[in-house]
Amino acid sequence: MSTSSCRRRRSRRAASAATSIWSSSAARTSSTSACGCTRTTRCPVPEPIDSKPECQPIMSVHSSDRFRQQAVEALRHAKFKFPSRRKIFIWKKWGFTKYDRDQHQVYWDEVCLVSDGCGVKFFTDHGPLKKREAYERARLA
């Protein structure tokens, strides 16, 4: 038996170490195969959840404004499932747009914002009027 075939095999002990949570030094197993070559196998150990950066979101919930309290309460219950301290952030933007909630409402009332799929289009007072007139005709029709 060649030594190259020894290196390709995996021991059962090393495979079971990947499923349990050991430290990285305990996950290394050294074994001797039938041909006598010694090999060391290092098993990947899952990283604990606490090792994530502080600002990385773990989960996100999209809901309308009238269900804000229910969404915050659901996230408050869910954060107890993760170790260490977790914060709940409320997005200040309106939906998937780049405008704040109060700014979005002012622009929407002035008809500066136009619905465009899941986002919005911003019309300014400058530029050609053909696009704006075409939109107004389509909106009123």
Domain boundaries, the chain: 3-42, 54-81, 101-140
In sequence order, the 6+-apart residues with CB closer than 8 A to the CB of 9 are 33
Q: For the purposes of burial, counting CB atoms within 10 Å of the CB of 18, is it exposed (0-12), middle (13-18) or buried (19 or more)?
A: middle
Cross-strand bridge partners of residue 120: 115
Q: Say if domain 101-140 classifies as CATH 3.30.60.
A: yes
Q: What is the pTM of this model?
A: 0.44
**Higher-scoring residue by pLDDT: 45, 82:** 82
pLDDT tens-digit readout, 29-68: 555 555 555 554 444 545 555 555 555 677 888 888 899 8
